[in-house]
Structure 1
Amino acid sequence: MQIDKNQLLRFTTAGSVDDGKSTLIGRLLYDSKAIFEDQLEAVSVTSQRKGHDGVDLALFTDGLRDEREQGITIDVAYRYFTTPKRKFIIADTPGHIQYTRNMVTGASTANAALILIDARNGVIEQTKRHAFIASLLQIPHVIVCVNKMDLVDYSEEVYTKIVHQFEEFSSKLYVKDVRFLPISALDGDNVVNRSTNMDWYKGAPLLHTLEELHIGSDLNKIDARFPIQTVLRPQSEAHIDYRGYAGRIASGIFRPGDEITVMPSGFTSTIASIDTMRGALEEAFAPMSVAISLNDDIDISRGDMIVKTNNQPQALQEFDAMLCWLHNDTAKPRVKYTIVHTSNEQKAMIKSVLYKIDINTYDREENQKDLFMNDIARIKIRTTRPLMIDEYRDNRITGSFILIDDATHETVAAGMII
């Protein structure tokens, strides 16, 4: 299969504390020659100051000064690099259990997830939690990197045991493609270059695997959805009668002449033109930002959605969702939050918690009322006005939302509609 050299692969790293995520990314950047000289010099100086014999590869991703001083990664660190075959964006997420919410952030747009396992410890609770989140967010590719193989004498037996452990519990999850690699991020075995210490492993090293991954578009090309962000009314004489509805196409394709329905009002019309700063278009598709004008004068405002008349989302005030609670404060039913869904913002409340997920067993814990930080649960939510929604498995844009605390304006939860 021919790989597009301009194709972008987004991948996230996840694992428990000290599994070597930052070191792995540092090794990828270092061995693939993706480090600028000034970056290398700065990290070398910091490494010497800390008393390291060589370059501390983890410092390439631990970009914040406080992180370096504490010796831990405490936020999602994004890095960009390019090889002759592909462009990459990496989201390095923390390993501490209290920062599981950061993985939800880092993984929300990922094409692949790298889950690291310390070869000495095998599969642990955090491994299961991260695998479950990858499954929940429907990340198409999961690459399980069994790291620190140098500390178990590059044992094939240890590696095989961990592979079986992961396969046993992940069989309950929905993951399209799972791959396994034995690596040593510290020494570079099977990261960019094939390991001479593990000649029993016949697969490709990590970088080659990432370069060859097939990336299917995660955008829905069938269901046309155009959330309105603002209404354009130019004041110039040349456009005195122009009324355009501006926003970013969430999914599908729009063309002049298409029969459309404005939701939630239900008014219908046809598309007169699709306009941009560079001129009119014959068609527009996700994720383009455009202005659409209609052949009829309809009352439309921010939060409304233009859709194809013959293909409409559900307009619901009450629906079920899988919710990841992200905040220190406990979530309680009947407390009002602001829900943000596409360009639509309104009041909402968690009507009930149907069940929580036990990360260790994936069993359902019923008769639960409150949600605590990092809890994952199926909930029923109610909004003050209808939202135009699709299921998350069909449309990641119109099938997702966040909840915001009105008092602190902090994001407290991320939801996937089911």
Structure 2
Amino acid sequence: MELEAEALLQEARENIEAARTYRRELQHRLKGLHLARQQIKDSAALTREVLEQHFNDLKGTLRKLLDERLLSLLQEVDAIEQESIKPLDECQKLIEHGVGTADELLQEGESAIRDAKEQNSDKLCNFTKKALHIQLDSLPEVPSLVDVPCLSAQLDDSLLTIVRSQIFDHGTVASRPPVQIEELIEKPGAILVRWCKVDEDFLPQDYRLQYRKSTASHFEDVYVGSDTEFIVLHIDPNVDYQFRVCARGDGRQEWSPWSVSQIGRSTLVPHEWTPGLEGYSLSSRRNIALRNDSQVGGVLYSKAPTYYCGQTLTFRVETVGQTDRKDSIGVCVEQQHDCDSLQRDKAVCVSTNGAVFVNGKEMTNQLPAVTSGSAVTFDIEAVNLGPSTHNEGSSIKLRVTISSNNREVVFDWVLDQWCHSLYFGCSFSYPGWKVLVF
């Protein structure tokens, strides 16, 4: 009976714990549902605001353009009217002057006739001479109505049809952005952002990626181009960053709506070069090394063994200098300050001419020569992890893949003992080489 009671009690405890887990999962889903609902409401409110602002701006601009066009046409009517009236005014002045002259002549003629009846012919003679001088048969020409302007306005009603058609087709409302962020992958001091299009009818020409710290108020552009992934560098560890992406359709100027923003962070310690080596100058974040013109050379190592198997280590060559056969970029088990190159034991590296060295021995396979802008990547995986592999003193085989300029070499690197992490390093004999590591 006691065993049965204990079993029932244990089953009850398990059911209670299962119920707690079930409730916790349901509450988590309710929170997710709330966030989804809030996203719909917030995006709908923002879309309404954008539409209203846009169409209010359009109406204001159209009203201003129509008023300006109306004023221009009215000014044109005024100019034509004034220019056309001017010769008519001159003709009117000429005729009115003639009428005045004719009135004076009539008065003089009538007076001369009255005086002639009284046997005074001198006044009549003077009048006759004056009438001959005025040329009463010469009349000014008045233009006919068909020869003077008759103003009118030509207004094409098809404009309304065109504008109506353009307005009815102007703007669209989409339930989802055409592109979305697909994946955020943490890197040492960086985050790899991958995105994809989700609208099959959308033909992207370019993408635009923005990011901001969670404490910042504004997003900033970090990438514009045709690729669908980008590594965002200079990421502070254990800090949340927001990312969003949009796209520009083929042949269009405007950008699409932004994707739903995603939050990512990197918990991995940023890769840093060791400061203080005389032959190299470092950037403020110590992830860029420049070989200066100092005569002191040697290998510049990482500050700590921050490269772990399973990660991708990338060296991007920003600028190049004169090459030397001892130049090297690669990884190693330990720092050896008495060596002037990584072409040694317990190290794998690539020379600037593309030669690959494993434990100091050159391989037959070779990569392209390093040029400005080249990215050399190292991917290392342990291939024989057994129960005793992690023990001190036990050997380990690592599968190494080195890629550069769309070429890669793959080989096994055998070490005589297990190491949890690796250093990285570089060595250049001549100045001008600048290498970014991430």
TM-score, normalised by the number of residues in structure 2: 0.22
Question: Larger % of helix: which?
Answer: 2
Question: Larger % of strand: which?
Answer: 1
TM-score, normalised by the number of residues in structure 1: 0.23
- Return the index of the structure with the highest Cα Rg: 2
